[in-house]
Chain A
């Protein structure tokens, strides 16, 4: 066993403390031969500190496209020649999407909008939508609406939104290479307000944006400092027309190393498979990640792209004897 895995076993598995940035970097640099042992350790950590349950979530786009920001990975930016057109989801369709999600056994439903931050119209749509969902469906409602003011944070709490997603996307040092229309610090400020409001903080990012392995370690350490309730881990799915549209997808073994590294950085967080896993890991890799630190999944489709059928993921969880976290367990 390598020294770093010995240290990780003592610090993370035995004590429940996350690895520091230098140790995360060592993990990310482990050779392929060490990957099975690394994944087993990350799985042991997840089982000891989080348990066998897997949190299942569905997501839907309330407002698609036409975003004024220039996040270089995103097909919904209005600044790029992407084929994605602007469209709004009506309330009955939103409720139907929540019902479809709940029917999979999911406990979470996240409403997402492609905006810099919500305007009055969007907040009114959210209030009506969240109320309609809570009336018709037994599911926890989360939201992802960009950067918020304190008043908007308070409004979302009042609506009953229990978790707010706002990804930092990548580490602080690389962020200006990915987004130029706002700063990493502006995102951090929204996350600070969300935490203070009592809503659960959901914050992750995307791997494969062109960051170095050192910057991947930096990102994991910065997320650990934030200590979010949930970390959604995306892998770049290069979108036509975006500045990152020609980037290669993340190598599968690098993706698995990253999953394990993020788990060892944050042993107690919900670490969720999000977008890009289908093209980065495929079916076999998806299974390996669930046995290597992942304990949550987005099922079904994403915001502008399609995922595996929910039944495929649910069958995989059953095969792995990983129970779906029930709604009652989230309260």
Chain B
């Protein structure tokens, strides 16, 4: 599994800063394969699409 903000392995290092930043950011990396996702932010939410693992919303 990977950090969805920085794309590095979630088990390696401390991702507390990433987690804090994610409060005001959509995910950028697929947590399953670390591919960069296509992200669309709209006024009330976001969608993030991984070509392999599909759509996430928030």
A positions within 8 Å CB-CB of B: 58-61, 64, 83-87, 89, 93, 96-97, 100-101, 104, 237, 240, 278-279, 299-307, 310
Cβ of A189 to closest chain B Cβ, rounded Å = 30
Given A83-B29, A279-B24, A306-B25: A299 and B43 interface contact (C-beta under 8 Å)? yes
Q: How far is the CA of A323 from the CA of B7 in the complex (A)?
A: 43
Other-chain residue from B23, B29, B41 in contact with A304 (beta carbon distance below 8 A):
B41
**Neighbouring B residues of A302 by C-beta, 8 Å:** 41
Residue of B nearest to A61 (CB): B41
* B24 neighbours in A (Cβ, 8 Å): 237, 278-279, 305-307
A interface, by DSSP: helix, strand, loop or mixed?
A: loop
- In the complex, 5 of the A-B residue pairs with CB atoms within 8 angstroms, ordered by the A residue number, are A83-B28, A85-B36, A86-B38, A93-B42, A310-B44
Number of B positions contacting A (CB below 8 A): 19
Closest A residue, CB atoms, query B7: A83
B40: interface (CB < 8 Å): yes
B13 within 8 A of A: no
**Residue B26 at the chain A interface, CB threshold 8 Å:** yes
- State whether B41 touches A301 (Cβ < 8 A): yes
Q: In the docked arrangement, what's the CA distance between A19 and B38, Å? A: 45
The complex places the Cα of A164 from the Cα of B23 at a distance, in Å, of 30
B45 in contact (CB, < 8 A)? yes
Q: Which chain A residue lies CB-closest to B22?
A: A306
B42–A85 CB distance below 8 A: no
Q: A152 vs B9: C-alpha distance in the bound complex, in angstroms? A: 46
Would you give the shortest CB distance from A307 to chain B, in whole angstroms?
Answer: 7
B29 neighbours in A (Cβ, 8 Å): 83
Contact of B43 among A85, A278, A279, A310 (CB under 8 A): A310
